[in-house]
Amino acid sequence: MVKKVLAWRQAKRDEASDIWETLQGRNEELAVELVRLAETGDKTYQGLRKSIGNVRALIRAMSELSGVPIEPASQTKLLDACSEVPGVIGGVVPGAGGFDAVALLVEDKEEVVQELQRLLDGWQVSGLAGDVGIVRMLGVREEMEGVRMEDATMYGSWVE
């Protein structure tokens, strides 16, 4: 998928540059909003929801223009449904996009997780090849430690 996006970027330089620059600005606005929330403790999250929505809208535009399913329609439907759950601030298709995952920013409340689980129970999606898959939540959380130095020997043959 990345190769196809880069080919589109090469072939449609002006179109791609406009989107890339606007996306950079929207990502910067999202970062500013995160800092503002950390400083103010604002729990309405309206600015953050808007910032996430602005980024997603541009990613969908890039998907359409490049012909690459960065945020495929099935993921849009899933993200939109999850975003309607009280306590879900927003979400995105992470990484290079595609059909394999979404990432959600949610309030740290058990009832939010339970409501998301109820929504996802029985949720099915169609993949790129038309195959049907189920959606499951992974129990991952934020890391509170921040940046740290790792001992590379812990990773054995993965590190050259």
φ/ψ of 70, rounded to 5, equals: -65, -50
Picking from 97, 88, 40, 31, the residue whose alpha carbon sits closest to that of residue 66 is 97
pLDDT tens column, 31-63: 999 999 989 988 899 999 999 999 999 999 999
**96 pLDDT band (50/70/90 cuts)?**
confident
> What pLDDT is recorded for position 129?
59
Q: How far lies 3's CA from each of 6, 34, 121, in Å?
A: 5, 31, 34
The answer to whether residue 21 scores a pLDDT higher than 80 is yes
> What pLDDT is recorded for position 158?
61
pLDDT tens column, 119-160: 999 887 765 556 667 788 887 777 777 777 778 777 766 655
For residues 156 and 81, the model is more confident at: 81
Ordered structural domains, the chain, with CATH:
2-141 (3.30.70.890)
Picking from 58, 56, 61, 55, the residue whose alpha carbon sits closest to that of residue 30 is 55
pTM: 0.81
> What pLDDT is recorded for position 91?
95
